[in-house]
Amino acid sequence: MVMVSPRNLIVIILAVALTAVLAFYFIGRDERQILRRQRDLVERLSKSGPEKEIGALTRAQEISSFFNDEVVLDLKPYLSGAHGRRDLAGLAYHFRGMVEELSIEMADHKLTIAPDRRTAVLVAVARAKAKYSGEWDQDLREVEMRWAKTEKGWLISSASFTSAIKRPEGL
């Protein structure tokens, strides 16, 4: 039978706890960063009421900072094509200016990081509610975001709508 003194037991517990903390910090670091970036982006896209011009411009600038220098979007019917970061800031400013209120929720995240940990794919379901001219409209979409690790952290390199239900060709 192995006898462990109370002092040794405390050391063992501390060592196990430290290993667990370090493992949590290093192993899940990229995952946590990407999910936090995605939450921050959703928060900045949302709008709870009228905004001052300078606030709206700042928000648009912040939104564009989540994207790579060149980003490919396939978010029909809202947005598609290749866009630069400055271009995106303009689009974000214009789009947010069109709505009185906008709330976005993301659920069912599925994140896959490439073995080299330089790129990642995040699939989630997005539910957006927007108020135009006093009327609420809503949309539910599956979104696939591709992320790339850069000097500025994880940035979105492309985003597209996907669907578990595929429309037959020509429909």
Partner 1 sequence: MNPAWKRIIAGSSIRTTLLRAALLAVITWLLFTQVLTVCRLDGASMEPTMKNRSVRIVNLLKYKKNDPARGDVVVISPAGRRVYYLKRILGLPGETVGFNAGQFTVNGQPQEEPYLTDRGDWNMEPAVLEADKYFVAGDNRAVPIERHLIGIVSREKIAGGLLW
Shortest distance, CB of residue 127 to partner 1, whole angstroms? Answer: 7
Q: Which is nearer to partner 1, 60 or 159 (CB)?
A: 159
Q: Smallest gap, in angstroms, from Cβ of residue 74 to partner 1?
A: 17
CA distances from 81 to 74, 88, 107, 114 (A): 6, 11, 25, 25
**DSSP letters spanning 113-162:** E-TTSSEEEEEEEEEEEEEETTEEEEEEEEEEEEEEEETTEEEEEEEEEE
Q: Which is nearer to partner 1, 57 or 121 (CB)?
A: 121
Smallest distance, partner 1 to C-beta of residue 5, A: 32
Distance, CA of 124 to CA of 93 (rounded, Å) = 24
Is 45 or 124 the residue whose CB approaches partner 1 more closely? 124
What is the nearest approach in angstroms of partner 1 to the Cβ of residue 106? 10
Residues that bind partner 1 (CB under 8 A): 107-110, 123-125, 127, 140, 142, 163-171
CB of 166 to partner 1, least distance (A): 5
Nearer to partner 1, 54 or 165 (CB): 165
Q: Is 108 exposed, middle or buried (0-12, 13-18, 19+ CB in 10 A)?
A: exposed
Instruction: Please identify, using beta-carbon distances, which residue of 40 and 142 lies nearer to partner 1.
Output: 142
Closest Cα to residue 145, out of 34, 64, 61?
34
Phi, psi of 96 (to 5 degrees): -70, -25
Q: For residues 43 and 57, what is the distance between their CA atoms, to the nearest angstrom? A: 15
